[in-house]
Amino acid sequence: MLNRLKKLAVKLESIAVLRDLMKDQVICRFIRLLETVGDEKASYKEFVRCYSEFVHCLAENCLMLRLPETGSFGDYLAHAVMYCETPISQVAEQADSVRFPAWMAQALRKELDILGEMVNLSPRDIKSGWLKNHGHDAGEIIDNLPEWDISPKAGGFFEPGKPWGDSANRLIEFYRQWGSGSFARYKGFIWERSGDQGILRGVDDPDPVRLSDFIGYEQQRNEIIDNTLRFLKGYPANNLLLYGDRGTGKSSTVKALLNEYHALGLRIIEVSKELMPDFNQILRIIRNRPQKFIIFIDDLSFSDDESTYTALKAVLEGSLESKPGNILVYATTNRRHLVRERFSDRAGLMSDQADDEIHAADTMEEKLSLADRFGMTITFTAPDQEEYLGIVEALAQKRGIRIEKDVLRKKAVQWEMLYNGRSPRTALQFINWLEGYQKMKNESSGGQDYGQVR
Of 441 and 382, the structure prediction assigns the larger pLDDT to 382
* Residue where one domain finishes, among candidates 357, 380, 403: 380
Residue 316 shares a structural domain with residue 204: yes
Of 3-12, 156-165, 283-292, the one with minimum mean pLDDT is: 156-165
Report if residue 323 sits inside a domain.
yes
In a shared domain, residues 366 and 219: yes
Let me know if residue 454 belongs to a domain: no
Count of the separate structural domains present in the chain: 3
pLDDT band, residue 134 (cuts 50/70/90)? confident
Q: Mean pLDDT over residues 41-54, rounded?
A: 92
Mean pLDDT of 435-447: 78
Average pLDDT estimate for 301-323: 67
> Does the pLDDT value for residue 103 go beyond 70?
yes
8 A C-beta contact, residue 302 and residue 308: yes
Grade residue 300 by pLDDT with cuts at 50, 70 and 90: confident
pLDDT digits (tens, 9 = 90+) for 182-220: 999 999 999 999 877 899 999 999 999 999 999 989 999
Whether residues 399 and 334 share a domain: the answer is no
In this prediction, residues 58-81 reach a mean pLDDT of 86
Which stretch of 132-136, 233-237, 284-288 has the lowest confidence by average pLDDT? 132-136
- For the stretch 143-182, pLDDT in tens is 889 998 876 554 567 887 889 999 999 999 999 999 999 9
Q: Does residue 314 sit within a domain? A: yes
CB 21 within 8 A of CB 81: yes
Based on the fold, state whether residues 349 and 411 are members of the same structural domain. no
pLDDT bin (cut points 50, 70, 90) of residue 306 is: low
Does an H or E element contain 328, and which? strand 327-333
Same domain, 392 and 362: no
User: Residue 254 pLDDT more than 90?
Assistant: yes
In a domain, 259, yes or no: yes
pLDDT at 29 over 60: yes
Comparing 401 with 364, which gets the higher pLDDT?
A: 401
What is the distance in angstroms between the CA of the first residue and the CA of the last residue of the chain?
75
Ranges 120-124, 316-320, 386-390, 413-417: which has the least confidence: 316-320
pLDDT at 357: 47
- Within-domain flag for 449: no
Same domain, 196 and 340: yes
Rounded Cα distance between 206 and 400, Å, is 26
Q: Is residue 453 part of a domain?
A: no
The per-residue pLDDT for 258 is 95
DSSP code, position 267: E
Position 97 pLDDT exceeds 70: no
- When pLDDT is cut at 50, 70 and 90, the band that residue 311 belongs to is confident
Asked if residue 452 is part of any domain, the answer here is no
pLDDT of residue 314: 75
Q: What CA–CA distance (Å, rounded) separates 218 from 390?
A: 14
Instruction: Mark out the alpha helices in 135-271 (DSSP H runs).
Output: 139-143, 168-178, 182-185, 218-232, 250-261
Q: What is the pLDDT of residue 374?
A: 86
Percent of the chain whose predicted confidence (pLDDT) is above 70: 83
Of 346, 364, 380, the residue at which a domain comes to its end is 380
Q: Which domain holds residue 435?
A: 385-444
Q: Averaged over 238-264, what is the pLDDT? A: 94
Q: Which pLDDT value is given to residue 196?
A: 79
Q: Are strands 197-202 and 188-194 parallel, antiparallel or unpaired?
A: antiparallel
Domain membership of residue 153 (yes or no) is: yes
**Which tens digit of pLDDT belongs to each residue from 319-370?**
656 678 899 999 998 865 555 545 445 454 454 554 444 434 444 455 556 6
Residues 316 and 434 in one domain: no
Q: Are residues 193 and 168 in the same domain?
A: no
Q: Would you state the pLDDT for residue 365?
A: 52
Same domain for 12 and 87 = yes
Of the two residues 97 and 255, the one the predictor is more confident about is 255
Looking at the fold, whether 417 and 360 belong to one and the same domain comes out as no
Where does a domain end: 180, 214, 232? 180
Mean pLDDT lowest for which of 1-5, 23-27, 181-185? 1-5
Confidence at residue 289, expressed as pLDDT on a 0 to 100 scale: 92
Return the SS3 of 333.
Answer: strand
Q: How many residues does the chain have?
A: 454
The pLDDT of residue 454 = 46
Query: Residue 204 belongs to a domain with what CATH number?
Result: 3.40.50.300
**DSSP per-residue string spanning 338-386:** SB---HHHHHGGG---TTS-TTHHHHHHHHHTTGGGSSEEEEEPPP-HH
In terms of domains, do 344 and 390 share one? no
Higher pLDDT: 101 or 18? It is 18
**What integer is the mean pLDDT of 5-13?**
91
421 with 349, same domain: the answer is no
